[in-house]
């Protein structure tokens, strides 16, 4: 294994773009059943419109240039090819901050957030390190089995050490929140604090499979009943994507790697279902394109399989903890294991992807949390 850190430039061959456009032009479509809508998956009309824009209106070269305007690097850690952004602030007092995306996302999630962190109008600034999760987009191919959140956390700890950061903060949501919590738990001597984003739907969904979060919920309590109802709805109607990836990632992987329409639907449906504020469709299609061009739909599914079969979920971190709840209601505090002295912020709008939905409030909360921890 080499410890070398290599500069990286994203260059998708024109032949790959031509192939994508040809496949989209020749796509076969599942007819929409009369009287059905989003409750059965992304509707045909919505997907057709988005696919046509991907084929004829979306400017991949502009998005590629936007990504290449940020310093990108690759390295090898624990046998795995790792891609990451490393955007240093011009401010001499900037703090290092490791940020991790979740599912079904990519580092493109942070394109609007990063400038707000590296060059803020006021308040603390950050040197941002944003890796692509193993098996996702540019951190492919997946070198083998066993890439759980804990193994990823250990790889991130090694990455920050290679970059020369002795003290740093960590932030994430979804899978990235789990990885960030494990980084803080495993590297408390170097982590200044851990900041996690969540929302009411995600909190209830996570409580369905993470041991202990739903213990003690009372169906006769009005707030607890809302949580329990959301958990039931997720098990019944919302968890199919997770069930297939947690059990047969290879099978669904063939379709995700072979069909751009399936890869588009797989991601676009979640962006629609898990957001409250509008997301720029070019930013959505940047993530979809990264998954398509790298064939990472299958390998991302395999990492979800690995975590669902892992017993290592981590202990509570001993460093300061911060939580930002988007689309907040009274339910989240009931299931999120936040210590009494944790930083806690609530925002009325936004949900699962606040770095895309509401980057200004997210950046402000990161400054509010990490500022006193310098």
Domain containing residue 88: CATH number: 3.40.50.1820
Q: Is residue 1 one of the residues assigned to a domain?
A: no
Mean pLDDT of 194-208: 97
Q: In what order do the strands lie in the sheet with 168-173?
A: 6-7, 72-77, 80-87, 126-131, 95-100, 168-173, 191-198, 321-326, 343-347
Q: Which entry of 83, 101, 305, 365 is annotated as an active-site residue?
A: 305
Q: What is the pLDDT of residue 328?
A: 98
Q: Strand 126-131 vs strand 72-77: parallel, antiparallel, or unpaired? A: unpaired
Per the CB < 8 A criterion, the answer to whether 217 and 224 are in contact is yes
- Peptide bond connecting 29 to the previous residue in cis, omega within 30 degrees of 0: no
Give tens-digit pLDDT for 297-338: 999 999 999 999 998 887 889 999 999 999 999 999 999 999
Q: Which entry of 174, 199, 276, 282 is annotated as an active-site residue?
A: 174
Q: In which band, very low, low, confident or very high, does the pLDDT at 197 lie, cut at 50, 70 and 90?
A: very high
Q: In which band, very low, low, confident or very high, does the pLDDT at 2 lie, cut at 50, 70 and 90?
A: confident
Q: Is residue 205 one of the residues assigned to a domain?
A: yes
Report how far residue 374's alpha carbon sits from residue 96's, in angstroms, rounded to the nearest whole number: 10
Alpha helices by DSSP H, the chain = 14-25, 44-56, 60-68, 113-118, 149-162, 175-186, 200-207, 222-233, 240-247, 249-258, 260-273, 281-294, 297-308, 332-335, 354-357, 359-370
Closest C-alpha among 159, 160, 176, 180 to residue 168: 160
In order of 148, 246, 248, 299, the CA distances from 303 in angstroms are 6, 9, 12, 6
Helices and strands (H and E) in the chain: how many: 16, 9
Per the CB < 8 A criterion, the answer to whether 366 and 374 are in contact is no
Mean pLDDT of 194-212: 95
Domain of 276, in residue numbers: 6-373
Q: Is residue 214 one of the residues assigned to a domain?
A: yes
Mean pLDDT of 69-96: 98
Active site residue 352: yes
User: Total domain count for the chain?
Assistant: 1
Active site residue 305: yes
Q: Is residue 315 one of the residues assigned to a domain?
A: yes
Q: What is the pLDDT of residue 210?
A: 87
Asked if residue 240 has pLDDT above 70, the reply is: yes
- The model's pTM: 0.97
Q: In which band, very low, low, confident or very high, does the pLDDT at 21 lie, cut at 50, 70 and 90?
A: very high
Record the tokens describing residue 213, joined without a space.
Answer: 């979060």
Mean pLDDT of 191-220: 95
Q: Which residues, 6+ apart, have CB-to-CB distance to 122 below 8 Å?
A: none
- Peptide bond connecting 33 to the previous residue in cis, omega within 30 degrees of 0: no
Per the CB < 8 A criterion, the answer to whether 191 and 183 are in contact is yes
Mean pLDDT of 131-147: 98
Neighbours of 76 (CB within 10 A): 16
Report how far residue 272's alpha carbon sits from residue 39's, in angstroms, rounded to the nearest whole number: 12
Closest C-alpha among 174, 163, 160 to residue 274: 174
Q: In which band, very low, low, confident or very high, does the pLDDT at 72 lie, cut at 50, 70 and 90?
A: very high
Q: Which entry of 171, 291, 352, 365 is annotated as an active-site residue?
A: 352
Q: Is residue 301 one of the residues assigned to a domain?
A: yes
Q: What is the pLDDT of residue 1?
A: 59
Give tens-digit pLDDT for 252-282: 999 999 999 999 999 999 999 999 999 999 9
Give tens-digit pLDDT for 140-160: 999 999 999 999 999 999 999
Neighbours of 299 (CB within 10 A): 25
Q: What is the mean pLDDT of the chain?
A: 97
Burial 217-231 (b: 16+ CB within 10 A, else e): beeeeeebebbbebb
Report how far residue 260's alpha carbon sits from residue 281's, in angstroms, rounded to the nearest whole number: 16
């Amino acid at each position: 294994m080499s410890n070398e850190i290599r500069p990286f430039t994203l260059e998708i061959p024109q032949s790959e773009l031509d192939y994508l456009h040809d496949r989209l032009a020749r796509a076969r479509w599942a007819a929409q059943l009369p009287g059905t809508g989003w409750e059965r998956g992304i509707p045909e009309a919505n997907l057709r419109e988005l696919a046509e824009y991907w084929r004829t209106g979306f400017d991949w070269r502009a998005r590629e240039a936007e990504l290449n305007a940020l310093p990108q690097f690759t390295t090898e850690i624990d046998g795995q090819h790792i891609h990451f952004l490393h955007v240093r602030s011009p401010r001499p007092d900037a703090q290092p901050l490791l940020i991790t995306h979740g599912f079904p996302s990519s580092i493109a999630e942070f394109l609007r957030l990063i400038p707000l962190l590296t060059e803020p109008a006021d308040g603390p600034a950050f040197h941002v390190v944003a890796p692509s999760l193993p098996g996702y987009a540019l951190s492919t191919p997946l070198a083998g089995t066993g890439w759980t959140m804990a193994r990823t956390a250990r790889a991130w700890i090694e990455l920050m050490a290679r970059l020369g950061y002795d003290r740093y903060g960590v932030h994430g949501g979804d899978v990235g929140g789990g990885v960030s919590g494990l980084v803080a738990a495993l590297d408390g001597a170097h982590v200044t604090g851990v900041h996690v984003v969540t929302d009411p739907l995600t909190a209830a969904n996570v409580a369905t499979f993470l041991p202990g979060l739903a213990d003690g919920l009372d169906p006769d309590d009005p707030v607890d009943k809302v949580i329990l109802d959301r958990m039931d709805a997720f098990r019944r109607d919302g968890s199919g994507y997770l069930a297939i990836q947690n059990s047969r990632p290879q099978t669904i992987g063939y379709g995700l790697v072979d069909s751009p329409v399936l890869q588009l639907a797989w991601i676009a449906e979640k962006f629609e279902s898990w957001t409250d504020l509008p997301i720029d469709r070019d930013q959505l299609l940047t993530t979809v394109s990264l998954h398509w061009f790298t064939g990472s739909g299958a390998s991302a599914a395999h990492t979800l399989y690995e975590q669902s079969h892992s017993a290592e979920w981590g202990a509570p971190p001993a460093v300061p903890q911060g939580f930002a709840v988007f689309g907040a209601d009274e339910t989240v505090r009931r299931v999120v294991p936040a210590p009494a002295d944790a930083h806690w912020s609530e925002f009325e709008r936004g949900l699962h992807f606040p770095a895309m939905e509401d980057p200004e409030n997210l950046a402000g909360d990161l400054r509010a949390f990490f500022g006193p921890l310098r």
